[in-house]
Structure 1
Amino acid sequence: MLLLASGQPAAWAQMRGNDCPIGSYRLDDGSHVDVGKGNDDHLRWRRQDGTTGELTRGVDGTWTSTLGWTGRDDGKRIGFDCDAGRITFAGVPGRRIELEVTDTSFDGAGVRLAGRLVMPKGNARVPIVVLVHGSEHSSARDSYPLQRQLPAEGVGVFVYDKRGTGASGGNYTQNYLLLANDAIAALGEARRLAGVRAGRIGYQGGSQGGWVAPLAAKIAPVDFVIVGFGLAVSPLDEDREAIALDLASHGYGPDEVTKAMQVADATAAIVASGFREGYDQLAAVRAKYGDEPWFEHVRGNISFFMLDNPEATVREQGPVLLPGVPAHYDPMPVLRNLDTPQLWILGADDRDAPSAETVRRLRALQAAGKPITVAVFPGAGHGIYEYETTADGGRVDTRNPEGYFAMMRDFVLHGRLGGRRYGTSAIYRAGEEEQVAGPPVAGPARR
Structure 2
Amino acid sequence: MKTNLCTAELTRTSALRGLGIATVVLALTGTGAVQAKEADDCEVGIYQLPDGSHIDVGASDDDRLRWRRNDGTTGALTRSEDGVWTSTFGWTERADGNQVTFDCRKDTITFAGVDGQRIALDVTDVVFDGAGVQLAGRLVMPEGDARVPIAVLVHGSEHSSALDSYSLQRQLPAEGIGVFVYDKRGTGASTGTYTQNYLLLANDAIAAVHEARRLAGDRAGKIGYQAGSQGGWVAPLAAKIEPVDFLIVGFGLAVSPLDEDRQAIEQDLTSRGYGPEVVAKAMEVADATAAIIVNGFRDGYDQLAKVRARYGDEPWFEHVRGNISFYLLDTPEATAREEGPAILSGVPAHYNPMPVLRNLDTPQLWILAENDSEAPSDETQRRLRGLAAQGKPITVAVFPDTDHGIYEYETTGEGKRVFTRNPDGYLAMMLDYIHNGYLDDRRYGTSTISTP
TM-score bracket for the superposition, by shorter chain length: over 0.9
Match of 2:11 among 3, 9, 15: 3
Whether 1:118 and 2:140 are equivalent positions in the alignment is yes
Instruction: Tell me how far 1:418 sits from its aligned partner.
Output: 1.9
Measure the CA separation in 1 of the matches of 2:70 and 2:245. 24
| Candidates 258, 264, 270, aligned match of 2:280 | 258
The Cα shift of 1:320 comes to 1.0
The aligned counterpart of 1:183 is 205
* 1:158-177 aligned within 5 A: 158-177=180-199
> Which of residues 170, 174, 178 in structure 2 aligns to 1:156?
178
Question: Which letter maps to 1:5?
Answer: T
What are the residue-to-residue correspondences of 1:22-421 with 2, within 5 Å?
Answer: 22-421=44-443
In 2, Cα distance between equivalents of 1:310 and 1:403: 44
Partner amino acid for 1:121? E
- C-alpha contact (below 8 Å) 1:18/1:42 kept by paired residues: no
Letter of the 2:379 counterpart: E
Shift of the alpha carbon at 1:21?
Answer: 0.2
Gaps of 5+ in 1: 431-447
Q: State the one-letter code of the partner of 2:10.
A: L
Question: Does the aligned pair in 2 maintain the 1:3–1:100 contact within 8 Å?
Answer: no
Report the AA paired with residue 296 of structure 1: E
| Structure 1 residue 2, shift from structure 2 partner | 3.1
8 Å CA contact 2:154–2:231 kept in 1: the answer is yes
Inter-partner Cα distance in structure 2 for 1:286 and 1:328:
24
Residue by residue, what CA displacement relative to the aligned partner does 1:94-116 show, whole Å, maximum 9, x if unpaired? Answer: 00000000000010001110000
Contact 2:85 2:101 (C-alpha < 8 Å) held by counterparts: yes
For residue 451 of structure 2, the aligned residue among 422, 429, 434 is: 429
- Counterpart AA for 1:262: E
Q: Secondary structure at the match of 1:110?
A: coil
Letter in 2 for 1:151: P
Task: Check whether the contact 2:124–2:139 (CA below 8 A) recurs between aligned residues.
Answer: yes
Shift of 1:3: 3.5
* Partner SS, residue 19 of structure 1: coil
Kept in 2, the 8 Å contact 1:9–1:103? The answer is: no
Q: Distance in 2 between matches of 1:390 and 1:311?
A: 32
Contact 1:18–1:43 (8 Å) recurs in 2: no
Partner secondary structure for residue 180 of structure 1: helix
* Cα offset, 1:13, TM superposition: 3.6
* Secondary structure of 1:293 counterpart: coil
Residue 40 of structure 2 is aligned to residue 12 of structure 1: no
Q: RMSD across aligned C-alpha pairs, in angstroms?
A: 1.2
Query: Any conservation in 2 of the 1:133–1:208 contact (CA below 8 Å)?
Result: yes
Is the CA contact (8 Å cut-off) linking 2:12 and 2:125 kept in structure 1? no
Deviations 1:395-431 (A, max 9, x none): 000000000000011111111112121000000011x
2: CA distance, partners of 1:38 / 1:208: 22
TM-aligned CA deviation for residue 14 of structure 1: 4.8
Give the Cα separation in 2 of the matches to 1:8 and 1:210.
31
Query: Normalising by structure 1, what TM-score?
Result: 0.95
Q: Give the TM-score taking structure 2 as reference length.
A: 0.94
Change (3 A) 1:263 1:317: same
Aligned equivalents of 2:39, 2:372: Cα separation in 1: 37
Contact 2:249 2:365 in 1 (8 A): yes
**What secondary structure does 1:373 align onto?**
strand
Separation (CA, whole Å) in 2 of partners of 1:225 and 1:26:
28
Indicate conservation of the 8 Å contact 2:251/2:369, yes or no: yes
Taking the aligned partners of 1:302 and 1:425, their CA distance within structure 2 comes to 29
Q: Name the residue aligned to 1:433.
A: none
Contact 1:3-1:9 within 8 A present in 2 as well: no
Q: Which runs of 5 or more residues in structure 2 are unaligned? A: 1-8, 24-37
Counterpart amino acid of 2:249? V
SS state at 1:233 partner: coil
C-alpha contact (below 8 Å) 1:4/1:10 kept by paired residues? no
Equivalent residues of 2:252, 2:368 under 8 A apart: yes
| Cα distance in 1, alignment partners of residues 98 and 21 from structure 2 | 26
CA distance in 2, matches of 1:17, 1:317: 30
